[in-house]
């Protein structure tokens, strides 16, 4: 599961656990982005903070882990490069799945070479609240055999909302794990 994770929240965790169960995965690897080229319009928190929050949030789950693959790589992040690296690491016998929100999956369809990316992994597109599934299904790649739609419980949580709450002094408890909340406070993030 790739993401900015700025910060990681229960929407990400519920989605990952849902995919783990529904697609009978062996493990879920969270891959925080390095330099998120899709988000250059705003200042993203240093990768090391986002990585640590992701480790804290996933530590208690035995089948969750976190990869430094993208944050240790210089330059912009491309999902295609990440999937190719994972393929080399894991060998041909491993089936790769890429878990994203349906909104993020649509962005992938609009890339230069979607067929190539869709050949590298099975994409699990999680529907999130406020998301128009008809818009997703109107796109031809949504019917690609390597794309599945997964509905997750209605969690209208977003990192954007969490950051705004912290900035305004409103509560984030029960939206992010306790340890993530503590880390945000200690590091003074989003103020």
Q: Which of residues 83-122 bind ligand ATP (CB under 6 A)?
A: 100-101, 103-104
**47 touches ligand ATP by CB under 6 A:** no
**35 touches ligand ATP by CB under 6 A:** no
DSSP string, 138-166: TSGGGGSTTEEEEE-------HHHHHHHH
Per CB under 6 A, the segment of 20-28, 67-75, 115-123, 153-161 that binds ligand ATP is 153-161
**155 touches ligand ATP by CB under 6 A:** yes
Interstrand relation of 122-127 and 147-151 (parallel, antiparallel or unpaired) = parallel
- Of 33 and 93, CB closest to ligand ATP: 33
- Of 91 and 146, CB closest to ligand ATP: 146
Dig out the tokens for 121 from the structure.
Answer: 């992994």
3-state secondary structure of 81: helix
127 contacts: CB under 8 Å, gap ≥ 6:
101, 102, 133, 136, 149, 150, 151, 152
Binding residues vs ligand ATP (CB under 6 A)? 3-6, 11-12, 15, 100-101, 103-104, 126, 128, 152, 155, 157-160
């Amino acid at each position: 599961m790739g993401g900015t994770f700025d910060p990681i929240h229960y929407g990400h965790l519920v989605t990952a656990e849902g995919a783990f169960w529904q697609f009978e995965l062996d493990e879920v690897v969270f891959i925080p982005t390095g330099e998120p080229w899709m988000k250059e319009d705003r200042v993203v928190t240093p990768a090391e903070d986002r990585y640590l929050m992701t480790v804290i949030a996933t530590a208690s789950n035995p089948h969750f882990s976190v990869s430094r693959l993208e944050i240790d790589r210089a330059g912009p992040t491309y999902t295609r490069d990440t999937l190719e690296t994972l393929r080399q690491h894991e060998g041909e016998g491993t089936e790769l799945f890429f878990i994203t929100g349906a909104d993020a999956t649509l962005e992938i369809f609009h890339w230069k070479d979607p067929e190539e990316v869709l050949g590298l992994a099975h994409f699990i597109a999680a529907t999130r609240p406020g998301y128009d599934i008809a818009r997703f299904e109107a796109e031809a790649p949504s019917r690609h055999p390597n794309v599945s739609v997964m509905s997750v419980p209605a969690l209208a949580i977003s990192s954007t909302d969490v950051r705004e709450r912290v900035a305004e002094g409103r509560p984030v408890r029960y939206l992010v794990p306790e340890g993530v909340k503590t880390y945000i406070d200690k590091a003074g993030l989003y103020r």
